[in-house]
Structure 1
């Protein structure tokens, strides 16, 4: 018996080589995926290892013995060689197990020319019993394209050294990932750094690369739109999940409007689910000497607006619920009625995992959402979720809260300061 091992890119390549080397009587004993090539163990390509054998000594040209060529019968294998779950090669029943030795020889049709194999049906037909699943040609091609894309993203301006080897880019990548920026965004940013360096013929130093990253992040985050509550806004709605600090944030902004802008302010709360929530806002209302109305359903809103008709600005505090559930968002949307110009602020905590932020924002974006406000900046050293959220949803930023003191610990979000924190605080 002749046994040969082939390492190929796809099964059609293997079939052609086996047919040429071993002839039509060859059987495939085993197939499995392996990885080969690459640089320092990275970016290796997927290959397929195929073990094939034939029961008779066949010339190198792939010619069969005269008996096999004449009758098309399968030569009887040697008694001491029984391949494990072998496959008949070149037939429509390519995936079936080979017949037991005691059965009579079967007719063996001529093997057709090997054509490109496409589709899941062709992959299933080429799958032997007990063998490792072999991907269709299209999937193998897409895998190679993805690997090539990853490799291109990690080439330096010379095109011969990977960015991961460059200590400057490697450190910047680690720094951005520690700040929990999206890995795909990190790759895009660093690729642009390399392109800029190549275009300008600049040396890729840490200072130059950091400056390039700052420019990119500023272009992504900075906006000329007004972050604060507009002067002609009549109602400011504050929505968001539980525990993000909506009530405290409202108190801070209300104090700013009363003390700094001298506007007459009123409160409406629909947070009747949380124990002492109404009492908390009532305490702030007493301190600021502003009226407070409690609503239990959308039907109570008109009454509340009528009671606060003399106010210049009304802050509406909504109940914190599990807003990953779209049903709760729909219920809340019924409360966001306007009696004049309004703004809706989505309040999110910077200590929340980005995956949860993403789900919450996705549900709220189906309704009216004007700005996003971040809280608890003082409770985290990771700021990348802000960049991810703004980039993915295109939200307009507003305020950022960095403590519990009323009214001091709140300010308009400063993108330049945030970028410096991302690049500097990420240092190890």
Structure 2
């Protein structure tokens, strides 16, 4: 590791020196304002002290680049198997009219007491006596109450005995689907709930689950998954938004995703676009976005503070839309959170996307999402679908948080490898194609 300190007049001067002396892979470790010179504390000059570091072995970085380039054909091949998860957003053919999504009020997150009550065994209360004309309806309602009670009891129990009892109680076709969902990394409790809800709905319609084929069972569970994924409408970038923020942890592909969406807004919607980045911790990230900006012939501004951001926005007053990249930081760090919050505190029309990688563990994905809720994030964008064979984390996240699906990316190609999320295709991939025994 090679570390070097620079004392310069401004950050652009520092960036130029760092690029020249340490290379594009250098990382800025610390920056602060200092005063130098003068006499008896007077006539001092304000300078910026910047500490940067880079790998002392340049050969490792040089050999890494060909390896990455060689891996891209394999990535493109893998992405073809998952291309059906979404509908392409850029096509020369006219876009067919789609059925308008019904706006659904997001359900509030349950309190601790409500969650405890939901998992506690509830005493069974039979349905009240009904007139003779409604006896059949009352009987169905009573059966539904019994099934719900059994499900709550099973979820409240611990140990393999209770789990085995639930699995044995499921018809074989539905049990196979439950197992498939767990293999797709859907949380086991959620997988059981999706299957049980499907069975209850079918029996309310007078269709006993035990009499259904595997294909019919699969269709019922797929419908339950689609309903969960579309509880809030799937949304793109709002066309009336002027500033669009992209936030998320490091390494999820925010910069490449912004380039893809900038190309979409420029070529498809004919908008004049501006790019802003506050990711000054990675020199390579700035250069990557600068390259995309040059190709698209759009302006790029680099900002270091909220004050710089306002000046950059003033210089881009003629732009229809501004896409803003933010630094991927450790969002368990309160200082990093406060820095980002100052950059997102803008009064103009805005849209904010949380960017998450499908290659992340769900426990990490959930922790990141929980931290970003304070910024009013409403939309989630998933990247790297080509790097995983499971999609369960999408279902888990939308069950745990009131977020709207937006886009899914499945490769590095700009602008091709990004699509609007398709709930039906995701459900098909999660459940698979059931086959008759």
Unaligned segments of structure 1, at least 5 residues: 1-141
Q: CA deviation at 1:198?
A: 4.0
**Larger of the two Rg values belongs to structure:** 1
Please give the alpha-carbon distance, in whole angstroms, between the structure 2 residues aligned to 1:145 and 1:407: 45
What RMSD over aligned residues (CA atoms) do the two structures have, in Å? 2.7
Q: What's the counterpart of residue 214 of structure 2?
A: 206
Q: Which has the higher contact order (CA 8 A, sep 6+)?
A: 2
Q: What's the counterpart of residue 39 of structure 1?
A: none
Q: What's the counterpart of residue 147 of structure 1?
A: 157
Q: Is the aligned partner of 1:171 residue 2:176?
A: yes
Q: What's the counterpart of residue 190 of structure 2?
A: 185
Q: CA deviation at 1:197?
A: 4.6
Q: Write the mapping of 1:95-174 to structure 2, written as runs, cut at 5 A.
A: 146-147=156-157, 162-163=168-169, 166-174=171-179
Q: Is the aligned partner of 1:239 residue 2:247?
A: yes
Deviations 1:274-322 (A, max 9, x none): 1311111000000000001110111211110111111000011000112
Please give the alpha-carbon distance, in whole angstroms, between the structure 1 residues aligned to 2:337 and 2:412: 27
Mark the CA change 1:208 to 1:327 in structure 2 (over 3 Å): closer, same or farther.
farther
Please give the alpha-carbon distance, in whole angstroms, between the structure 2 residues aligned to 1:347 and 1:143: 37
Deviations 1:106-129 (A, max 9, x none): xxxxxxxxxxxxxxxxxxxxxxxx
SS of equivalent residue, structure 2 residue 264:
helix
Tell me the TM-score normalised to structure 1 length: 0.61
SS of equivalent residue, structure 2 residue 237:
coil
Q: CA deviation at 1:211?
A: 1.4
Alignment check: 8 A CA contact 2:218 2:434 kept: no
Per mean C-alpha deviation after superposition, the further-off stretch among 362-371 and 198-207 is 198-207
Q: What's the counterpart of residue 300 of structure 1?
A: 308
Q: What's the counterpart of residue 288 of structure 1?
A: 296
Mark the CA change 1:350 to 1:324 in structure 2 (over 3 Å): closer, same or farther.
farther
Mark the CA change 1:151 to 1:390 in structure 2 (over 3 Å): closer, same or farther.
same
Unaligned segments of structure 2, at least 5 residues: 1-151
Q: Is the aligned partner of 1:316 residue 2:324?
A: yes
Tell me the TM-score normalised to structure 2 length: 0.60
Mark the CA change 1:425 to 1:177 in structure 2 (over 3 Å): closer, same or farther.
farther
Alignment check: 8 A CA contact 2:234 2:421 kept: no
Mark the CA change 1:152 to 1:143 in structure 2 (over 3 Å): closer, same or farther.
closer
Q: What's the counterpart of residue 387 of structure 2?
A: 379
Mark the CA change 1:216 to 1:225 in structure 2 (over 3 Å): closer, same or farther.
closer
Q: Write the mapping of 1:7-156 to structure 2, written as runs, cut at 5 A.
A: 146-147=156-157
Per mean C-alpha deviation after superposition, the further-off stretch among 347-356 and 147-156 is 147-156
SS of equivalent residue, structure 2 residue 344:
coil
The structure with more helix, counted as a fraction of residues: 2
